[in-house]
Amino acid sequence: MKEFDLIKRAKLNALNGNILDRESIIALLQIDPESKECDFLGKAAREVASIICKDRAYLWAAIGIDFKPCPMNCDFCSLGEKWGIVTEENELGDNEVIERVRQFVSQGVRWIVLRTTQFYSLDKLIELAGKIKKEVCGEYELGLNAGEFDESIAKRMAKEGLEFVYHTLRLREGINTRFDPAKRIVTLEAISKSTLDLVYLIEPLGIEHTNEEIADALLSALKYGAVVTGCMERVPVAGTPLGELPDISERRLAQVIAVSRLAAGFHAPDICVHRASKLAFEWGANVTVVETGAIPRDACCTLKEEWKGFTSETAKRWFEAKGYKVFQRRE
Ligand code: SF4
């Protein structure tokens, strides 16, 4: 009974325009993902999604530009230099990237992100973004998922036509990564002070993370003004230090999505799940990711095809089956 009341309160809180408090977020995360209480949580989150995002779903496409060893050696990433997984380097040329962007735009993708390893030249990326914006017309928004930068670089990004940046303080930053969390925060602050939108998921979520860590990641996304939040699971990549730890269950991922939806309310109206899951759509996610190119979650580089064969068309079908309609343009 306690859980049902808590869920009803969280739902009301979201619809009243408030962010949920840390204690309640943790209590929602404590619900057994296999229970009927969790089904009720998912149902409540879906109802809130209907009101907040009006059953509009959106697609996110990531283009991994460089398949190269990265000296930051994050414990979950296939591109970490120390893990020796990348044996043959690869990098997409400008024309290949532009062609991929054109394809995603024609498929109705709203957010297209150019993703690189940590030290890829930001100058090169900003220049490429300007070129894409000139050559590919459409309703899409273009963003980056790259290294650290300051306010002056954020301004240059916006000037070249970039609309958003994907950046996060990851779960166990500084423990499972070699980053100083303070440096990631400097970049988050630079984005917050710019006209760029911030997209910030709870990631990479695995069975090792506590409810408290998840709640703090979610509240951090909201603190820095993320317009899209949600959750990305950790995919165990054999050969990385976390490669032997299993991934989370589909119900646990969907639960974290439901909690994100109720906690963020109108503050982050779009909730993204990666990997895509029909249950997560049913429990409040209205955004998902199609990937191509270098994938930090896999030992391969899918330069021509979508990762795991998950295409924009599949995503659209799944959303429609769960009562959403996919749009390219924000309302
Ligand atoms: S997650 Fe990013 S920073 Fe970390 S090793 Fe992979 S590419 Fe480098």
Angle among Cα 285, 288, 290 to the nearest 5 degrees reads 170
Q: How far is the CA of 265 from the centre of ligand 1 (A)?
A: 31
Q: How far is the CA of 76 from the centre of ligand 1 (A)?
A: 9
Report the predicted TM-score, pTM, of the whole model to 2 decimal places: 0.97
What is the reported pLDDT for 318? 98
Residues paired with residue 60 on neighbouring β-strands, in sequence order: 111, 289
What is the reported pLDDT for 243? 97
Residue indicated by tokens 């440096």: 183
For the chain, domains (ranges, CATH) are 2-326 (3.20.20.70)
Tell the residue nearest (CA) to atom 7 of ligand 1. Answer: 117
What is the reported pLDDT for 303? 67
Tell the residue nearest (CA) to atom 4 of ligand 1. Answer: 74
Q: Which residues line ligand 1 (CB under 6 A)?
A: 70, 72-74, 77, 79-80, 117-118, 296
Structure tokens at 21: 């408090």
pLDDT per residue of the chain (331 residues) written in tens, 0 to 9: 699 999 999 999 999 999 999 999 999 999 999 999 999 999 999 999 999 999 999 999 999 999 999 999 999 999 999 999 999 999 999 999 999 999 999 999 999 999 999 999 999 999 999 999 999 999 999 999 999 999 999 999 999 999 999 999 999 999 999 999 999 999 999 999 999 999 999 999 999 999 999 999 999 999 999 999 999 999 999 999 999 999 999 999 999 999 999 999 999 999 999 999 999 999 999 999 999 999 999 887 776 789 999 999 999 999 999 999 999 988 7
Please identify, by atom number, the ligand 1 atom nearest to the C-alpha of residue 147.
3
